[in-house]
Amino acid sequence: MARLVPAHQWLSQQDEALCLRINRASSIQWLRTALCLVSRLGDGVFWYALMLSLLGWRGQAAMVPVLHMVFTGTICTLLYKWLKNKTTRPRPYERNRAIRLAAHPLDRYSFPSGHTLHAVGFTAIALYYYPALVPLLLPFTLLIALSRIVLGLHYPSDVLASVAIGGAIALGSLLLW
């Protein structure tokens, strides 16, 4: 007689298996190098450069969008840090030795992906004000999300949850702003 696995255990197993499959792409040198660069830019460098560029391009007219991005980023950071400390989920490479760590983590825990959460939040706010930036921001945000799994730093569920959280924060800030 087959033994039933609890749903949460089955989901966790599927999450880890998908993480392992996606992480195999880290063995491709040029892809790993490119995603490490994307990840590094996603540490904040890209978003700061975007805000400065908007101010340089649009001047005073960009002040409200940039302040809105700063506000949203602050909320994202506060929630991200709180969730990391509450969930304390180990990173994938710590739980499965077959998952290759291809970049250095900025902090200890896996959930949520701060890079993805911030990328979604910043992108949503920037695109609200400047929809013409879709060809730049959407691919960059998708690459950040993908990089987190390929580099062995996050599970797919960390990234998907971060997309939802970042989107919810952006939507909430748009409703409040």
Mean residue pLDDT across the chain: 94
Q: State residue 165's pLDDT score.
A: 97
Cβ neighbours around 169 below 10 Å, total: 24
- Judge whether residue 70 has pLDDT over 60: yes
39: in domain: yes
> Which pLDDT band, with edges at 50, 70 and 90, does 2 fall under?
low
Q: Is the pLDDT of residue 177 over 60?
A: yes
What pLDDT band is residue 75 in, cutting at 50, 70 and 90? Answer: very high
**Domain hosting residue 150, numbered range:** 29-176
Q: What average pLDDT does the segment 9-38 reach?
A: 94
Mean pLDDT within 110-130 = 97
Q: Are 63 and 69 in contact (CB under 8 A)?
A: no
The total number of structural domains in the chain stands at: 1
Question: Considering the domain boundaries, does residue 20 fall inside one?
Answer: no
Report helix, strand or coil for 98: coil
pTM for the whole structure? 0.91
* Residue 16 belongs to some domain of the structure: no
Q: What is the reported pLDDT for 145?
A: 98
Could you say which DSSP state residue 3 is in? P
pLDDT at 113 over 60: yes
CA distance 78 to 76: 6
| Structural domain includes residue 81 | yes
The verdict on residue 1 lying in a domain is: no
Report pLDDT for 6: 82
Helix (H, G, I), strand (E, B) or coil at 90: coil
62 within some domain: yes
> Buried (b) or exposed (e) across 15-40, using 16+ Cβ within 10 A?
bbeebbebbebbeeeeebeebbebbe
Instruction: Tell whether 69 is covered by a domain.
Output: yes
- Looking at residue 55, its pLDDT comes to 97
* Residue 13: inside a domain: no
Query: Does 1 have pLDDT greater than 60?
Result: no
Q: What is the pLDDT of residue 10?
A: 85
Question: Average pLDDT in the 30-36 region?
Answer: 97
